[in-house]
Amino acid sequence: MNILIIEDEELAAWGLISKLQQRDPSVRIVATLDSVRSAVEWFGANPAPDIAFFDIQLADGLSFEIFEQAEVPCPVVFTTAYDAYALRAFKVNSVDYLLKPVSGEELERAFAKLDQLRGPAALDAGAIRQMMQMLKPQQFKSRFMVKVGDHLSAVDAGEIDFFFGENKIVWLRHRNGRKYPVEYTLDQLEELLDTQHFFRLNRQYIATLGAIRDVVTYSNSRLKVVLKDPLGDGDVLISREKVDAFKHWLGK
């Protein structure tokens, strides 16, 4: 079996090669490449391997860019250090992924899947764009313009306790205790804010950790968040569906 490896970390590459050779001493590593550019050049000048292992994050970009610049006529398994939860969407078009460091059990799973394939496992353009968008660094909004009387003022995202929606108006609650209306919906803000610092608690609130005074277990497997200085009715309930995500965010 001919295998191509695209990996920019030398130790990771050698570790994968070692496990592949342990599994099958007859495997032939046709090339070990470390960049998008070298991979594009290789596919343009060489016959297709039986399978390729692509690290997602390479020195000069994401390996998904290879699909945009060259024909990849072979099944691909992604090897990556990204969290498994974020990679669920990558299991499309018969493509698998392995989390680094790659274990022998995971490798067997990938080859078992390969045995089920019929022909190359091609990624379509839409799937490539989706995966690139998910993994490229996201630009979050760092300042918000608010109106104070007849004046406009900029508020840094780090100075905000929470956003609150009421009567079709969304308010920004500043750490100085004042609130200001903003020209965004909470759904829009959820896309603009850094999820490391902001969490969509429910339909009315997007809050920072610093704005939370207490978290209390509530009926029906829900949680109640007590804000330091709430607006509205004061009770902020986390639905059962969001409890696990909220706990994960708290523990980051």
User: How much is the average pLDDT of 243-250?
Assistant: 87
Domain holding 241, by residue range, is 143-250
Closest residue by Cα to residue 172 from 163, 184, 161: 163
What percent of the chain is modeled with pLDDT above 90?
A: 35
Instruction: Domain count for the chain, please give it.
Output: 2
**Residues 91, 182 share a domain:** no
Give the pLDDT of residue 94: 40
Rounded distance between C-alpha atoms, residue 225 and residue 34, angstroms:
47
Closest residue by Cα to residue 206 from 221, 223, 193: 193
Give the pLDDT of residue 224: 92
**Residues 42, 160 share a domain:** no
Q: Which of 108, 135, 162 is where one domain is finished?
A: 135
**Residues 123, 233 share a domain:** no
Rounded distance between C-alpha atoms, residue 118 and residue 37, angstroms:
28
Q: Give the distance, in angstroms, between the CA of residue 116 and the centroid of all CA atoms in the same chain.
A: 28
CB atoms within 10 A of CB 183: 11
Mean pLDDT of the chain: 82
Check which CATH number belongs to the domain holding 91 and give it. 3.40.50.2300
Q: Which of 135, 158, 185 is where one domain is finished?
A: 135
**Residues 185, 120 share a domain:** no
Check which CATH number belongs to the domain holding 182 and give it. 2.40.50.1020
Q: What is the pLDDT of residues 163-202, one digit of tens each?
A: 999 888 999 999 988 999 998 999 889 888 988 899 999 9
Q: Which of 135, 167, 183 is where one domain is finished?
A: 135
Q: What is the pLDDT of residues 82-135, one digit of tens each?
A: 655 445 445 444 456 676 677 778 788 778 777 666 555 555 555 666 666 665
Give the pLDDT of residue 229: 77
Give the pLDDT of residue 41: 95
**Residues 74, 175 share a domain:** no
Give the pLDDT of residue 89: 43
**Residues 29, 131 share a domain:** yes
**Residues 99, 34 share a domain:** yes
**Residues 119, 102 share a domain:** yes
pTM of the predicted model, to two decimals? 0.50
**Residues 105, 9 share a domain:** yes
User: How much is the average pLDDT of 211-220?
Assistant: 89
